[in-house]
Structure 1
Amino acid sequence: MPPILEVDALTIGFGNAEPVVRDVSFSVNAGETLALVGESGSGKTLTCRSVLKILPEAAQMRSGRITFAGSSGAVNLLDASERQMRQVRGNQISMIFQEPMRSLSPLHRLGNQVAEVLHIHRGLSLSAAKREVLEQFEKVGFVDPERAWRSYPFEMSGGMRQRAMIAMAMVAKPEVLIADEPTTALDVTTQAQVLGLIRKLQQDTGMAVILVTHDLGVVANMAQQVVVMNKGRVMEAGRATDVLGAPAHKYTAKLFAAAPMIPEVAKPARAMARDDVILDLRNVTKTFTLRAGGWRKPVQVTACRDVNLQVERGKTLAVVGESGSGKTTCARVALGSERPDAGGEVLFHPGSGQDPLPVHDMTTAQRTAFQREAQMVFQDPYSSLSPRMRVLDALTEPMDIHRIGNRADRRDKAAEMLRLVGLNPDMLGRYPHAFSGGQRQRLSIARALTLDPKLLICDEPTSALDVSVQEQILTLLEDIRDHAQLSYLFISHDLAVVARIADEVAVMRAGVIVEQAPPDTLFYNPQHPYTKALIAAQPEPDMSRPIDLQLVAKGAGAPTSWPEMFRFDGPDAPALRELEPGHMVRCHA
Structure 2
Amino acid sequence: MPILDVKSLSIGFGTAPAVVDGVSFSVDRGQTLALVGESGSGKTLSCRAGLRLLPAAARILGGTVQYQHDGQTIDVLTAPERQLRHLRGNRMSMIFQEPMRALSPLHRLGDQVSEVLHLHQDISAAEAKKRVLAQFERVGFVDPERAWRSYPFEMSGGMRQRAMIAMAMVSNPDLLIADEPTTALDVTTQAQVLGLIKDLQKETGMAVILVTHDLGVVANMADTVVVMNRGRVMEAGAARDVLGAPAHGYTKKLFAAAPVIPEVAGPVPPPPGDDIILDIRGVTKSFTMKAGGWRAPVTITACRDVDLRLPRGKTLAVVGESGSGKTTCARVALGATLPDPGGEVLFRPAPGADPICVHDMSARVRRRFQREAQMVFQDPYSSLSPRMRVQDALTEPMEIHGLGNRRARRDKAAEMIRMVGLSPDMLPRYPHAFSGGQRQRLSIARALTLDPKLLVCDEPTSALDVSVQDQILGLLEEIRDRAGLSYLFISHDLAVVSRIADEVAVMRAGVIVEQAPPETLFHNPQHPYTRALIAAQPEPDITRPIDLDLVAKGAGKPQSWPEMFRFEGDSAPALRELEPGHKVRCHA
TM-score normalized by the length of structure 1:
0.99
Q: Secondary structure at the match of 2:77?
A: helix
**Could you tell me which residue of structure 2 aligns to residue 198 of structure 1?**
197
Q: Which amino acid aligns with 1:547?
A: I
- Residue 123 of structure 1 and its aligned partner are, at CA, apart by 2.1
- Residue 82 of structure 1 and its aligned partner are, at CA, apart by 0.5
**Could you tell me which residue of structure 2 aligns to residue 235 of structure 1?**
234
C-alpha separation in 2, matches of 1:353 and 1:71: 73
Q: Secondary structure at the match of 2:477?
A: helix
1:281-320 to structure 2, matched below 5 A, reads 281-320=280-319
Q: Which amino acid aligns with 2:193?
A: V
**Could you tell me which residue of structure 2 aligns to residue 171 of structure 1?**
170
Q: Indicate how the Cα distance of structure 1 residues 318 and 272 shifts in structure 2: closer, same or farther if over 3 A, else same.
A: farther
1:501-512 to structure 2, matched below 5 A, reads 501-512=500-511
1:469-548 to structure 2, matched below 5 A, reads 469-548=468-547
Instruction: Render the CA deviation track for 1:450-480: whole Å, top value 9, x for unaligned.
Output: 0000000000000000000000000000000
C-alpha separation in 1, matches of 2:473 and 2:269: 18
Q: Secondary structure at the match of 1:545?
A: coil
**Could you tell me which residue of structure 1 aligns to residue 550 of structure 2?**
551
Q: Indicate how the Cα distance of structure 1 residues 287 and 271 shifts in structure 2: closer, same or farther if over 3 A, else same.
A: farther
**Could you tell me which residue of structure 2 aligns to residue 263 of structure 1?**
262
Q: Secondary structure at the match of 1:457?
A: strand
**Could you tell me which residue of structure 2 aligns to residue 181 of structure 1?**
180
C-alpha separation in 2, matches of 1:183 and 1:270: 33
Q: Which amino acid aligns with 2:127?
A: A
Q: Which amino acid aligns with 2:328?
A: T
C-alpha separation in 1, matches of 2:122 and 2:393: 45
Q: Secondary structure at the match of 1:78?
A: coil
C-alpha separation in 1, matches of 2:273 and 2:535: 30
- Residue 402 of structure 1 and its aligned partner are, at CA, apart by 0.3
C-alpha separation in 2, matches of 1:338 and 1:436: 30
Answer yes or no: is the 8 Å Cα contact 2:304–2:511 preserved in 1: yes
Q: Secondary structure at the match of 1:186?
A: coil
Instruction: Render the CA deviation track for 1:428-466: whole Å, top value 9, x for unaligned.
Output: 000000000000000000000000000000000000000
C-alpha separation in 1, matches of 2:212 and 2:272: 39
Q: Secondary structure at the match of 2:385?
A: coil
Q: Secondary structure at the match of 1:346?
A: strand
C-alpha separation in 2, matches of 1:293 and 1:265: 52
Instruction: Render the CA deviation track for 1:364-407: whole Å, top value 9, x for unaligned.
Output: 11100000000000000011110000000000000000000000
Answer yes or no: is the 8 Å Cα contact 2:6–2:24 preserved in 1: yes
C-alpha separation in 2, matches of 1:338 and 1:271: 33
C-alpha separation in 2, matches of 1:266 and 1:523: 8
**Could you tell me which residue of structure 2 aligns to residue 365 of structure 1?**
364
C-alpha separation in 1, matches of 2:31 and 2:372: 50
Q: Secondary structure at the match of 1:226?
A: strand
C-alpha separation in 1, matches of 2:214 and 2:394: 29
**Could you tell me which residue of structure 1 aligns to residue 328 of structure 2?**
329
* Count of residue correspondences: 588
Q: Indicate how the Cα distance of structure 1 residues 435 and 272 shifts in structure 2: closer, same or farther if over 3 A, else same.
A: farther
**Could you tell me which residue of structure 1 aligns to residue 275 of structure 2?**
276
C-alpha separation in 1, matches of 2:440 and 2:138: 30
**Could you tell me which residue of structure 1 aligns to residue 435 of structure 2?**
436
C-alpha separation in 2, matches of 1:556 and 1:477: 30
Q: Which amino acid aligns with 1:86?
A: R
Answer yes or no: is the 8 Å Cα contact 1:36–1:229 preserved in 2: yes
Answer yes or no: is the 8 Å Cα contact 1:271–1:518 preserved in 2: no
Instruction: Render the CA deviation track for 1:291-326: whole Å, top value 9, x for unaligned.
Output: 222111111100000000011100000000000000
- Residue 70 of structure 1 and its aligned partner are, at CA, apart by 2.1
C-alpha separation in 2, matches of 1:383 and 1:238: 37
- Residue 271 of structure 1 and its aligned partner are, at CA, apart by 4.8
Instruction: Render the CA deviation track for 1:489-536: whole Å, top value 9, x for unaligned.
Output: 000000000000000000000000000000000000000000000000
Identity %, equivalent residues = 77
**Could you tell me which residue of structure 1 aligns to residue 219 of structure 2?**
220
**Could you tell me which residue of structure 1 aligns to residue 426 of structure 2?**
427
- Residue 72 of structure 1 and its aligned partner are, at CA, apart by 5.6
Answer yes or no: is the 8 Å Cα contact 2:4–2:50 preserved in 1: no
Q: Which amino acid aligns with 2:180?
A: E
**Could you tell me which residue of structure 1 aligns to residue 459 of structure 2?**
460
**Could you tell me which residue of structure 1 aligns to residue 51 of structure 2?**
52
**Could you tell me which residue of structure 1 aligns to residue 36 of structure 2?**
37
**Could you tell me which residue of structure 1 aligns to residue 246 of structure 2?**
247
Instruction: Render the CA deviation track for 1:236-263: whole Å, top value 9, x for unaligned.
Output: 0000000001101000000000000011
Root-mean-square deviation (Å)? 0.6
- Residue 71 of structure 1 and its aligned partner are, at CA, apart by 2.6
C-alpha separation in 2, matches of 1:65 and 1:166: 28
Provide structure 1 residue ranges, at least 5 long, that are not aligned to the other structure. Answer: none
Q: Which amino acid aligns with 1:82?
A: E
Q: Which amino acid aligns with 1:137?
A: F
Instruction: Render the CA deviation track for 1:81-123: whole Å, top value 9, x for unaligned.
Output: 1100101101111000000000000000000000000001112
Q: Which amino acid aligns with 2:552?
A: A
Instruction: Render the CA deviation track for 1:336-391: whole Å, top value 9, x for unaligned.
Output: 00000000000001111110000000011110000000000000001111000000
C-alpha separation in 2, matches of 1:453 and 1:207: 49
Answer yes or no: is the 8 Å Cα contact 1:271–1:504 preserved in 2: no
**Could you tell me which residue of structure 2 aligns to residue 66 of structure 1?**
65
Q: Secondary structure at the match of 2:498?
A: helix
Instruction: Render the CA deviation track for 1:167-207: whole Å, top value 9, x for unaligned.
Output: 00000000000000000000000000000000000000000
- Residue 274 of structure 1 and its aligned partner are, at CA, apart by 3.7
The answer to whether residue 338 in structure 2 is matched with residue 342 in structure 1 is: no
C-alpha separation in 2, matches of 1:243 and 1:396: 44
C-alpha separation in 2, matches of 1:271 and 1:232: 48
C-alpha separation in 1, matches of 2:265 and 2:572: 31
C-alpha separation in 1, matches of 2:551 and 2:71: 39
Q: Secondary structure at the match of 2:327?
A: helix
C-alpha separation in 2, matches of 1:263 and 1:174: 39
C-alpha separation in 2, matches of 1:500 and 1:270: 14
The answer to whether residue 119 in structure 2 is matched with residue 114 in structure 1 is: no
- Residue 56 of structure 1 and its aligned partner are, at CA, apart by 0.7
Answer yes or no: is the 8 Å Cα contact 2:310–2:316 preserved in 1: yes
C-alpha separation in 2, matches of 1:70 and 1:561: 45
Q: Secondary structure at the match of 2:418?
A: helix
- Residue 270 of structure 1 and its aligned partner are, at CA, apart by 2.4
C-alpha separation in 2, matches of 1:34 and 1:474: 29
C-alpha separation in 2, matches of 1:273 and 1:525: 20
The answer to whether residue 458 in structure 2 is matched with residue 446 in structure 1 is: no
Answer yes or no: is the 8 Å Cα contact 2:47–2:177 preserved in 1: yes
Q: Which amino acid aligns with 1:189?
A: T
C-alpha separation in 1, matches of 2:547 and 2:74: 40
Q: Which amino acid aligns with 1:187?
A: D
Answer yes or no: is the 8 Å Cα contact 1:223–1:240 preserved in 2: yes
**Could you tell me which residue of structure 2 aligns to residue 375 of structure 1?**
374
C-alpha separation in 2, matches of 1:173 and 1:79: 25
C-alpha separation in 1, matches of 2:182 and 2:245: 26
- Residue 541 of structure 1 and its aligned partner are, at CA, apart by 0.2
Q: Which amino acid aligns with 1:296?
A: R
1:18-29 to structure 2, matched below 5 A, reads 18-29=17-28
C-alpha separation in 2, matches of 1:316 and 1:112: 41
C-alpha separation in 1, matches of 2:521 and 2:365: 37
Q: Which amino acid aligns with 1:117?
A: V
Answer yes or no: is the 8 Å Cα contact 1:118–1:129 preserved in 2: yes
Provide structure 2 residue ranges, at least 5 long, that are not aligned to the other structure. Answer: none
C-alpha separation in 2, matches of 1:29 and 1:474: 37
**Could you tell me which residue of structure 1 aligns to residue 159 of structure 2?**
160
- Residue 51 of structure 1 and its aligned partner are, at CA, apart by 1.1
C-alpha separation in 2, matches of 1:436 and 1:461: 15
C-alpha separation in 1, matches of 2:45 and 2:83: 21
Q: Which amino acid aligns with 2:514?
A: E
